[in-house]
A and B are shown apart, each in its own frame.
Chain A
Amino acid sequence: MEQADDLELARLARGGDESAFGEIVRRYSPRVFRVAGRFFRQRERVEEAAQEVFLKAFTQLDGFEGRGSLEGWLTRIATNTCLNLLRASGRRPELTVSDLTEDEGTWLEDQLSGVAAARHEAAERSMVAADLAGRVLETMSPDDRLVLTLVDGEEMAVKEVAEVTGWSESKVKVQAFRARRRMRAAVEKLLEFRGKGRSVESAGER
């Protein structure tokens, strides 16, 4: 089964061959996990989403005609399934400056002052930023999150994003444009609060 090509595996799985489908899961779960990892941060949620992707893929195997790669087809299903799961969860918590951790506040200040802080190790700074990015993105709509992650974060071309989402290229561009505006506004709000916090702190020191 491990030597069978994707088309053969898909054909067998379509006919109800469980071991063929198991091989598809084994072969492409790292890819599906990477896609789910764009949407969810907790391990359990990534794994739940990946499972849902494969279950959906099994029911849609008739739709795979072998014109594109199985990996591309699964990536599309994964992207849309995760997007729908995110929409269904409907959770969009507010993020205010009071929610920021000490490290996140320091990271923001370092960005503002332009010093790529030598006071923290690069890996540590990166983790703080990734966490803060995740929390800022959580306040945005699933569509905004997806387009920002793919276009601005992973620097994917508009055409590629259109392929994995099934959106038109113009929709990707418009969505990205609006999402950037909303992300910038969210960050600006954090920076304003931070700035006010700083001026209050410095006034107190005088």
Chain B
Amino acid sequence: MKDQHIIGILEGGPLARLSEGELAAVREHAAGCAGCGRAVEAARVAAALLRERPASTVEPSPFFQTRVLAALRERRAEEETPALSRLWRAAGALVSSMAAAVALLAVFTVAAPNFGLADEGEVVTTASDFYSTEALFVPAETADAEVDYDQVFQAVYAPESGGSDE
């Protein structure tokens, strides 16, 4: 059975720093206790190993400074790359939404007038003059080329139905 007091001395500090009194106590006890004897022996070997292990004496190579600065530049470039790509993505989104808006406008401008409005007898004709005044009065089946100046004149200046004072 190991004496906890001896173990406490062995583990309480570096073996090299034990006082004469502590060393004497350890020696005296270890002489009569096989378990503690082995513990003292192991502690002695462990202390010798630690003393013999100086820090590895690696000297910096002449290129070390250059390597560190190169690694620093690389790391900074890596950190900047995500910011650029974020900017690029944002610009892409803006361009895409603008393109979508233009396309939508084009669709409404070119195609929408023909959707469901060109029933027989309606006064809507072609897309090019959809918003013109005469378009409101020229029959749908009449092509642009067939509308002559008189028709336009009449359409524009014709008295409004039901609104006349005559």
Contacts and interface: CB of A to CB of B under 8 A. Distances in A.
Interface of A: 18, 21-22, 25-26, 29-30, 33-38, 40-41, 43, 46-47, 50-51, 54-55, 58, 108, 111-112, 126, 129-130, 132-134, 136-137, 148-149, 151-155, 176-177, 180-181, 183-188, 191-192
Contacts of A133: 49-50, 52-53
Contacts of B45: 108, 111-112, 187, 191
B68 interface: yes
Ordered nearest first, which 7 A-B pairs have the shortest CB separation? A37-B56, A129-B52, A133-B53, A133-B49, A188-B42, A37-B55, A29-B60
B43 A37 contact: no
What does DSSP make chain B's interface, helix, strand, loop or mixed? Answer: helix
Interface in B22-56: 38-39, 41-56
Nearest to A112: B41
11 contacts: A18-B72, A47-B58, A129-B53, A130-B53, A136-B49, A149-B53, A152-B15, A154-B55, A155-B16, A183-B50, A191-B42
A175 B161 CA distance: 104
B58 A25 contact: no
Given A18-B72, A46-B56, A50-B60, A29 B46 contact: no
Contacts of A47: 58, 60-61, 64
B11 A180 contact: yes
B45 to A, nearest CB: 5
A152 B50 contact: yes
A113 to B, nearest CB: 11
A19 B68 CA distance: 12
Given A33-B59, A130-B53, A177 B12 contact: yes
A171 to B, nearest CB: 16
Interface residues of B, number: 40
B57 interface: yes
Contact of B11 (A25, A36, A43, A184): A184
Contact of B65 (A26, A43, A188, A192): A26
B89 interface: no
B158 interface: no
A22 B65 contact: yes
B52 A126 contact: yes
B56 A25 contact: no
Contacts of A134: 53
A136 B49 CA distance: 9
Contacts of B75: 55
B14 to A, nearest CB: 4
Given A51-B67, A177-B12, A30 B53 contact: no
A191 B38 contact: yes
Query: Which of B13, B16, B45 neighbours the largest number of chain A CB atoms within 10 Å of its CB?
Result: B45
Contacts of A111: 44-45, 48
B58 A151 contact: no
Given A36-B58, A41-B56, A153-B54, 19 more contacts: A22-B65, A29-B60, A30-B60, A33-B58, A33-B60, A38-B56, A47-B58, A54-B72, A55-B75, A129-B53, A130-B54, A132-B49, A133-B50, A151-B14, A180-B10, A180-B46, A184-B43, A187-B45, A188-B39
B55 A38 contact: yes
Nearest to A185: B42
